[in-house]
Amino acid sequence: MADDQARETDPEPGDPAAGPEVDAPEVPGDPVAAAVLERFPAVVYRESHGQPVVYVPRAAWRAVGAFLREEQQFTMLLDVCAVDHLLAPERVRVDGVAPERFEVVANLLSHPRNRRLRMICEIPAGDPSLDSLAPVFAGAVAPERETYDLFGIEFNGHPDLTRILMPDDWVGFPLRKDDAPGAVPVRFKGDPAPR
């Protein structure tokens, strides 16, 4: 399907010689992703069901956000959320992106250019932290609190990183796959595996 095609044509990151040639066939469909790739060579582009997605290294997360806002007219950060891939039996692999347990996902919208872009950052389980986008987009304050609350991902530079939906004395991060109730699956007789 679309995933397979995207996987075949993904550019090789960190390979400056092959960069332009590999980029050329797939990036023209999305000028924004092309501009991001040009400025940040470590970023990997992928098309997901017709939507442009850029995989951003952790160190460049806020810089890419600021670049999109200031130079690419991305006026609104629509959403920040996270995904826990701990139990995923099957997962989309992207060439040039080392899969980690967590992914933080930010959806951005440019009103003047009427296009969307999704930023994804791989977050290792051992050090779940990421630069906050709140200094760039003030709208990131609430969704990053929610992501912290439900996944335990720390956002550096966030002005008010507290629990937002769960009670303040809650232990654990509920949307992690190893957190209850997901950690205690209902088992039926003869059931080979949970999920």
Partner 1 sequence: MTDDTTPDDLTPDDLTPDDVTADATGDPAGLAGAGDAPGVPAEDVELLPDDEELRLLRQTDEGAQEMRRVEDLVITGGVWPEGGGETTIMNMGPQHPSTHGVLRLMLEMQAERILRVKPVIGYLHTGMEKTGEELTYVNGCTNVTRMDYASPLANELVYSMAAERLLGLELPVRAQWIRMYLQELNRMASHLLFQATNGMDIGAVSMMLYGWREREEVLRLLELITGLRMNHNFIRVGGTAADLPDGWEEQTLEVCDLVERGVRDYDELLTEQPIWVERLQGVGTITTEQCLDLSITGPILRSTGFAWDLRKAQPYLAYDDVDFDVVYTENGDCFDRYRIRLAEILESVKIVRQCVERMPPGDYRVPDLKVTPPPRARIDESMEALIHHFKLFTEGFKVPAGETYVAVESPRGEIGCYMVSDGTAKPARMHIRGPSFYNLQAIDAMGRDALVADAVAIVSSIDPIMGEVDR
Site residues for partner 1, 38-57, by CB under 8 A, read 48-49, 51
- Please calculate the CA angle 120-122-127 and round it to the nearest 5 degrees: 135
Asked if 113 touches partner 1 (CB under 8 A), the answer is no
Q: How many residues bind partner 1 (CB under 8 A)?
A: 59
Query: Please, which residues bridge with residue 149 across strands?
Result: none
Asked if 18 touches partner 1 (CB under 8 A), the answer is no
Contacts with 165 (C-beta within 8 Å, 6 or more apart), sequence order: 146, 149, 150
Smallest CA-to-CA distance from 35 within 76, 6, 68 is with 68
- Amino acid of residue 172: G
Asked if 102 touches partner 1 (CB under 8 A), the answer is no
Site residues for partner 1, 156-185, by CB under 8 A, read 159-169, 171-172, 174-175, 181-182
* Least separation in angstroms between CB 17 and partner 1: 31
Asked if 137 touches partner 1 (CB under 8 A), the answer is yes
User: Which of residues 28 and 194 has its CB atom nearest to partner 1 in the complex?
Assistant: 194
- The DSSP annotation for 65-101 comes to HHHHHHHS---EEEEEEEEE-SS-SS----TT----S
- Amino acid of residue 60: A
β-strand pairing of 154-156 with 102-110: unpaired
Residues of this chain that interact with partner 1 (CB under 8 A) are 1-3, 48-49, 51, 75-79, 81, 83-85, 87-92, 105, 107, 111, 114, 116, 118, 128, 134-135, 137-143, 146, 150, 152, 154, 159-169, 171-172, 174-175, 181-182, 195
